[in-house]
């Protein structure tokens, strides 16, 4: 145990600088006890001799009763991340996830991939004009006043209503959650109240050939493979209104590209979504 002198004090000889485990006086005491057993002292039966011999073996590496060398066990603890990544096996022995080199490398690679994805995504958002202040129209279910009904009479149904995007949850946007509900919007008729909030999906992005953009594990936005990015926001043009789904939002009011600005460190790729994902990777 440490003390105010900054060193340990031995519990056997009371000298500073070593503990009982490495004390030469303690070893001499144990060897004297074992010698009494060898000399036929009846006070020291075989059971006590076994215990004493084991204590000597821990200090010298050799059991005086059997002559066997003490084999030191290798590290038995295993990193939980390596167990998750490799399953059964010997990978990850001798360290924990806190010091795991592979965990650090995989996390850094994922953050780098996310940075690539975010850089491409920001360009799409600015091109479409979707950000804080944009307006969408979508079908929302709730209790609505009955047209021509009695005062206070309501009915449950879906109606198309305009919503204003109030917030972009930038930190939740990653290539690992390409269809996340990143927008918080509120019904225009409920502005100034605590009601009428909706969480909206990221919009889908399309290439010139009409294919929906996808994102791969490297964060590269492309059209051929990977996870689909977002849900389709309907085209409000008259010739396409009839084809729209009543559940999908229709973009009816955009904002300028230069008003769509994530936090200054957003493009570095770090995100609580990524941290949460890696924290759950335990074998």
d(CA 28, CA 59): 11
Question: Does one domain contain both 139 and 3?
Answer: no
Question: Does one domain contain both 151 and 214?
Answer: yes
Question: Does one domain contain both 123 and 259?
Answer: yes
Residue 7: is it exposed, middle or buried by C-beta count within 10 angstroms (0-12/13-18/19+)?
exposed
pLDDT in tens, 151-178: 888 888 888 889 999 999 999 999 998 8
Residue recorded with tokens 């084991």: 54
Under-70 pLDDT residues of the chain: 1-7, 41-44, 71-76, 232-248
Domain containing residue 29? 1-72
Question: Does one domain contain both 45 and 129?
Answer: no
Question: Does one domain contain both 12 and 131?
Answer: no
User: How many CA atoms within 13 Å lie on the side-chain side of 277?
Assistant: 14
Q: Which of 20, 50, 72 is the last residue of a domain?
A: 72
CB 27 within 8 A of CB 60: yes
184: in domain? yes
Residue 205: is it exposed, middle or buried by C-beta count within 10 angstroms (0-12/13-18/19+)?
buried
161: in domain? yes
CB 103 within 8 A of CB 81: yes
282: in domain? no
Question: Does one domain contain both 63 and 121?
Answer: no
276: in domain? no
Contacts of 151 (CB under 8 A, 6+ apart): none
92: in domain? no
Structure confidence at residue 231 (pLDDT):
76
Q: How many domains does the chain have?
A: 2
Structure confidence at residue 141 (pLDDT):
82
* CA distance readout (Å), 132 to 27, 178, 254: 75, 19, 9
Mapped onto helix, strand or coil, the DSSP state of residue 96 is: coil
Overall pTM surpassing 0.75 (yes/no)? no
């Amino acid at each position: 145990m440490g003390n105010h002198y900054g060193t340990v004090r031995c519990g056997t000889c009371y000298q500073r600088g070593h503990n009982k485990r490495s004390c030469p006086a303690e070893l001499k005491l144990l060897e004297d006890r074992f010698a009494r057993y060898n000399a036929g002292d009846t006070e020291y039966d075989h059971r006590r001799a076994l215990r004493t011999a084991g204590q000597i073996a821990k200090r010298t590496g050799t059991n005086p009763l059997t002559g066997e060398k003490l084999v030191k066990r290798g590290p038995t603890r295993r990193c939980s991340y390596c167990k998750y990544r490799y399953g059964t096996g010997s990978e990850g022995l001798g360290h924990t996830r806190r010091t795991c080199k592979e965990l650090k490398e995989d996390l850094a690679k994922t953050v780098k991939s996310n940075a690539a994805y975010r850089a491409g995504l920001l360009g799409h958002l600015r091109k479409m004009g979707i950000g804080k202040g944009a307006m969408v129209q979508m079908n929302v279910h709730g209790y609505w006043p009955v047209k021509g009904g009695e005062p206070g009479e309501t009915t449950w149904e879906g109606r198309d209503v305009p919503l204003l995007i109030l917030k972009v949850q930038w930190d939740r946007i990653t290539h690992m959650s390409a269809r996340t509900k990143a927008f918080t919007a509120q019904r225009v008729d409920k502005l100034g109240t605590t009601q009428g909030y909706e969480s909206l999906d990221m919009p889908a992005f399309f290439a010139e050939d009409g294919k929906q953009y996808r994102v791969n594990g490297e964060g590269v936005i492309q059209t051929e493979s990977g996870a689909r990015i977002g849900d389709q926001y309907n085209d409000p043009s008259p010739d396409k209104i009839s084809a729209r789904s009543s559940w999908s939002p229709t973009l009816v009011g955009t904002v300028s590209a230069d008003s769509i600005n994530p936090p200054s460190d957003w493009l570095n790729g770090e995100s609580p979504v990524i941290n949460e994902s890696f924290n759950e990777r335990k074998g």
